[in-house]
Amino acid sequence: MSEIVVNARDVTKVYKMGEFDVHALRGVSLDIARSEVVSIMGPSGSGKSTLMNVLGCLDRPTDGEYLLDGEKVENLSDDQLSSIRNRKVGFVFQSFNLLPRQTALTNVVLPLRYAGVNNQEAHERAMAALEKVGLGDRIKHRPNELSGGQQQRVAIARSLVNDPAVILADEPTGALDSKSGQEIMELLLKMNEEQGTTLIFVTHDPRIAAMTQRTIHLKDGLVEEDGL
């Protein structure tokens, strides 16, 4: 097996809800290799969103170990987590999450600005990313001037622009019609083929899971089945 990018050992996550503890993850262990395409499935309440938050460094695990691209994550501060997300993780959300008043280009530039990349280089890289997703002629458009599929392409360009170790896609086709959903899936898979980007899909859509090499089923905060 090639180099491991995602390495989670006995990851647990406990939320306090008033007086009760909610065990969202009860000990998840996962290895995902570079350039792998993985889907994480499970019914609602299975902990797949929590797992995505932990894998994406949006949240710390309560217990267990997590190495992302060789960096320990579990004890980092908020700002250190920001920095790791900035360098190693790209997000594609169901609802795109673009800044509505900014153009496609500035939306894609955003992660580079927080990375401290200088303006000119940031713009060049953002342009390149937008061209890769086929929006080279739409860079000055604002999200409300773009179709859903195009908006998701901008989001993909934004997730790619920092050359991350892993892209986490949370129901990336959930807000799209089936045709543009299909196109988005194809685009993401093409990025994997061309650039070797590691892809993790979080979904409950079996059609998406069918397009990935490996599907991890979660249930009640545990890995029920890992199609390794």
- The site for another protein (CB under 8 A) is made up of 53, 56, 58-59, 78-79, 82-83, 85-87, 91, 93, 97, 99, 101, 110-111, 113-116, 119, 158, 162
In whole angstroms, how close is the CB of 135 to another protein at the nearest point?
18
In whole angstroms, how close is the CB of 152 to another protein at the nearest point?
14
In whole angstroms, how close is the CB of 108 to another protein at the nearest point?
10
Nearest to 74 by CA among 162, 1, 12, 167: 12
In whole angstroms, how close is the CB of 199 to another protein at the nearest point?
17
Q: Which is nearer to another protein, 111 or 209 (CB)?
A: 111
Q: Which is nearer to another protein, 59 or 69 (CB)?
A: 59
* Number of neighbouring beta carbons within 10 Å of residue 134: 15
Maximum Cα–Cα distance across the chain: 54
Q: Are strands 37-41 and 214-219 parallel, antiparallel or unpaired?
A: parallel
Q: Which is nearer to another protein, 101 or 190 (CB)?
A: 101
DSSP secondary structure of 21-61: EEEEEEEEEEEEETT-EEEEE--TTSSHHHHHHHHTTSS--
